[in-house]
Structure 1
Amino acid sequence: MPESIVSLNEETLRDDLRELVRKTVEELLNGLLEEEAGDLVGAERYERTAEREAYRAGHYDRKLATTSGEVTLRMPRLKGVRFTTAIIERYRRRETSVEEAMIEMCLAGVSTRRIEDVSEALWGSSVSASTVSSLSEKAFKAVERWRNRPLERAYPYACAGGIYLRRSWGGSYENVAVMVAIGADDDGYREVVGAAEGLAESSGCWREFLSWLRSRGLRGVRMFTGDKAAGMVGSVAEVFPGAAYQRCTVHFYRNVLARVPRSKRPRVAAMLKAIHAMESREAAEAKALAVAGELESLRLKEAAKVVRDDCAETLTYTRFPREHWRRIRTNNAIERLNREIRRRTRVVGTFPDGRSALMLVTARLKYVAESEWGSRRYLDVTLLEEAHREAGL
């Protein structure tokens, strides 16, 4: 006799379980509300006692959106005393976890209309555009506090760069620069030390950005790494006169290769990498001269000129411990953050204003900084102190 086959409709089962959980939550909350009303009244329902302080006057329904679905609360009405409950805040219409989820969607760049659709699909009730805006404002305040927090540690190494986003400006669409800086603190851990909006990566914008970092407590910087954006080098020297400047070697390679025919780029790239594979600054400088000469022999005079004129800026890292060279001679760390920012901001497209762009970028930076990215030790800074003691500094 063939065995009977039992089949389950997973979708129906899931819906039944969801409804069971929703009803359980609803019954539990209503039971707790009745208990609180009984404590305030001082008597059970229909009980006549001289000690009672108030009287029941029916109920009114109140909706509450939870992660289990929308539940109906039967809020007690009382005569003689005002009913207050510790179970749910006054005027609250959503569970806290629901609000937190919507805030995360706002910060992730999800549109207001999309949040309305998602909230109705997940929790059985939609939210208005004004509610989403108020939640965004709440999230932006927390992000702004984090962005302006005081910097209480010393940061021997710092790295700065900018990322361009599209924003609406007087009826037209233009790019806005968001400048970002990270630092390695005196324990060797990475930290996002600042993010600010700039109309362009000009000298004035960089000077204002670096001065803002200094006013918040950025100190102890011995070397800045950057991509030699317009105005960055002079601003670093002005605001942090004791800090050396390291030009990112990767950006240097790109500048040279932009003047090389495509067919010769692999060979030239290998030649450029050999410069920074040398064991000392003297050897690297000698190798750079040799590479420049070889480029001239290949009739690549423009590329050779860039190597002769700019290579020295990419060798500042040789003043510091050898164990740090690989990490401090490029701004790859900040480029990785920029890719994460672009991944999140791409869904927005064009921002309505600069503040929304800055807040979304800062929120993403805060999320990354509080993840494993900021909890791993990046450098052994004790090597830096030992090297300076040996040099008598």
Structure 2
Amino acid sequence: MTDYKTPIAETVEEKLVDEVVERLMDRADASGAALLGEGGLLTEVTRAVLERALDAEMTEHLGYEKHDPAGRGSGNSRNGTSAKTVLTDAGAVTVAVPRDRDGSFEPKLVPKHARRLAGFNDQILSLYARGMSVRDIRSHLAGMYGVEVSPDLISKVTDAIADELTAWQMRPLDPVWPIIYIDALWIKIRSGSVASKPVYLAVGVDMDGCKDVLGLWVGNEGEGATTWMTVLSELRNRGIEDVCIVACDGLKGLPDAVTATWPKATVQTCVIHLIRASLRLASKQHHPALVASLKEIYTASTEQAAQQALDDFAAGELGQRYPAIVRTWRAAWSEFIPYLAFPPEIRKVVYSTNLIESINARLRKTTRNRGHFPSEQAALKVLYLAVRELITPKARDVNHVAAHWKKALNQFSLFFEDRLNVR
């Protein structure tokens, strides 16, 4: 029999919950009680809920309710309670854990020897994902919940994510991807001395038009093609057989590594990165005019028209003032021009790099908060936790790349012929 609630039942339940909350808030206001901490409203509610649930577990274990005559002569019975303090989302809560006479009761909600509930671990991981140091996390928990936690506890909680990180890095991937964006962010890692190292990030757009972070890899400056062959070979070994477009930021050695891994893939220099690289070379007062001039290049209908627009820019006032911008575009030209052959629907998706930029912005903010990391593994843990908060199955609507993805997918199917197995 299906268990469901009618809309009327749900409305009544919601009203009852609201009334209980209102009464609790009125009581707190009248008594001046705090929300958290010893004697706080949420602390007391959490204690009451936990103790009621533990009593229910004991009833199920024994097979009869408290004070029920049916329990006489059953061979086991309640034997009082023992106080236990556990860390919860509401802070430290002391609960009365029921005991039985033969000691066979094993509570599930508050297991023996456990000193914190799962939700409290999630709080620590969430703070860690935001780039907070162990010292910052301890200070935050003490200020918010009045709870003193040791550095060892925080380390144990965060170290537990290592297996999950390994499984995530090794998970199988879909065989065909319309687009994969590859970028690098630089973070400081201690390896004898503190040095900046690149962390390579691969973000794929799947057949549903949703983004997924495919992996994170710590590299060393100057490795070039060797590093990229390692990264791309790993992606291929995890199941990726073909990619239509690999968009990147002119990273050294990447184009050759891409074509060696996926011979049919089109390597495309990210237009947004080209524009941003150009703006970094110009005074801010010239940015509006510069953006307008560069738009003439990347919105050109053909390669010839784009080349003419670039030549006009080079000969104009801005091009003469900023020859380094002209050199930047000409150096990236062979990886930029594939973009000009794409239909408008594909151009919009390739040009709009908000999907990877939003991820990069979050990761950069996280790493800036930390200053530097004691090891590569510590850096990957923080970055993975940040990614985990951004890319979840529940957030597929948020992670959607384009409002008109189906139109783009149809153009992908036509432009790249039979390479896409469209569902």
Instruction: Report the equivalent of 1:107.
Output: 129
Greater CA drift, 370-379 or 219-228 = 370-379
- Residue 386 (structure 1) aligned with residue 407 (structure 2): no
**Stretches of structure 2 lacking an aligned partner (at least 5 in a row):** 1-26, 419-423
Greater CA drift, 176-185 or 254-263 = 254-263
For residue 245 of structure 1, give the secondary structure of its aligned residue in structure 2: strand
Instruction: Report the equivalent of 2:207.
Output: 186
- Residue 341 (structure 1) aligned with residue 366 (structure 2): no
Instruction: Report the equivalent of 1:88.
Output: 110
Q: Give the CA deviation at 1:153.
A: 4.9
Greater CA drift, 141-150 or 51-60 = 51-60
Change (3 A) 1:37 1:184: closer
Question: Which residue identity does 2:139 align to in structure 1?
Answer: D
Q: What pairs with 1:47-58 in structure 2 (closer than 5 Å)?
A: 51-54=73-76
Q: Give the CA deviation at 1:160.
A: 0.6
For residue 15 of structure 1, give the secondary structure of its aligned residue in structure 2: coil
Whole-Å separation in 1 of the counterparts to 2:131 and 2:298: 40
Residues 153, 219 of structure 1: 8 Å contact kept? yes
Whole-Å separation in 2 of the counterparts to 1:107 and 1:290: 47
Q: What pairs with 1:279-358 in structure 2 (closer than 5 Å)?
A: 279-294=301-316, 298=320, 307-308=329-330, 310-329=332-351, 331=353, 333-358=355-380
- Residue 245 (structure 1) aligned with residue 270 (structure 2): no
Instruction: Report the equivalent of 1:15.
Output: 34
For residue 370 of structure 2, give the secondary structure of its aligned residue in structure 1: coil
Q: Give the CA deviation at 1:77.
A: 4.8
Whole-Å separation in 1 of the counterparts to 2:281 and 2:49: 72
- Residue 173 (structure 1) aligned with residue 184 (structure 2): no
For residue 176 of structure 2, give the secondary structure of its aligned residue in structure 1: coil
Whole-Å separation in 1 of the counterparts to 2:71 and 2:211: 67
Residues 185, 198 of structure 2: 8 Å contact kept? yes
Change (3 A) 1:35 1:334: closer
Instruction: Report the equivalent of 1:369.
Output: 391
Change (3 A) 1:248 1:73: closer
Q: Give the CA deviation at 1:103.
A: 1.7
Residues 65, 123 of structure 1: 8 Å contact kept? no
What's the TM-score, normalizing by structure 1?
0.81
Q: What pairs with 1:19-30 in structure 2 (closer than 5 Å)?
A: 19-27=40-48, 29-30=50-51
Q: Give the CA deviation at 1:356.
A: 1.4
**Stretches of structure 1 lacking an aligned partner (at least 5 in a row):** 1-7
Instruction: Report the equivalent of 2:220.
Output: 199
Q: Deviations over 1:263-292 (max 9, x none)?
A: 877656544331222112232233334444
Instruction: Report the equivalent of 2:421.
Output: none
Larger gyration radius, structure 1 or structure 2: 1
Residues 180, 246 of structure 2: 8 Å contact kept? yes
Change (3 A) 1:54 1:214: same
Greater CA drift, 294-303 or 366-375 = 294-303
Whole-Å separation in 2 of the counterparts to 1:320 and 1:311: 15
Q: What pairs with 1:129-168 in structure 2 (closer than 5 Å)?
A: 129-168=151-190
Whole-Å separation in 2 of the counterparts to 1:374 and 1:326: 16
For residue 350 of structure 1, give the secondary structure of its aligned residue in structure 2: coil
Residues 226, 331 of structure 1: 8 Å contact kept? no
Q: Deviations over 1:286-339 (max 9, x none)?
A: 333444455799487666555555434311112322222133147554233222
Q: Deviations over 1:47-73 (max 9, x none)?
A: 898723146666432212333443333
Q: Give the CA deviation at 1:130.
A: 1.5
Q: Deviations over 1:5-39 (max 9, x none)?
A: xxx99696342796355345435544555565576
Whole-Å separation in 1 of the counterparts to 2:200 and 2:46: 47
Change (3 A) 1:36 1:110: same
Residues 116, 128 of structure 1: 8 Å contact kept? yes
Whole-Å separation in 2 of the counterparts to 1:42 and 1:263: 79
Greater CA drift, 199-208 or 247-256 = 247-256
Whole-Å separation in 2 of the counterparts to 1:205 and 1:289: 35
Q: Alignment RMSD, CA only?
A: 3.7
Question: Which residue identity does 1:360 align to in structure 2?
Answer: V
In the comparison of the two structures, how many residue pairs are matched? 382
What's the TM-score, normalizing by structure 2?
0.76
Whole-Å separation in 1 of the counterparts to 2:64 and 2:242: 65
Whole-Å separation in 1 of the counterparts to 2:324 and 2:43: 71
Q: What pairs with 1:26-45 in structure 2 (closer than 5 Å)?
A: 26-27=47-48, 29-30=50-51, 33=54, 40=62
Identity %: 23
Greater CA drift, 298-307 or 245-254 = 298-307
Residues 155, 185 of structure 1: 8 Å contact kept? yes
Whole-Å separation in 1 of the counterparts to 2:159 and 2:318: 58
Q: Give the CA deviation at 1:355.
A: 1.2
Greater CA drift, 178-187 or 277-286 = 277-286
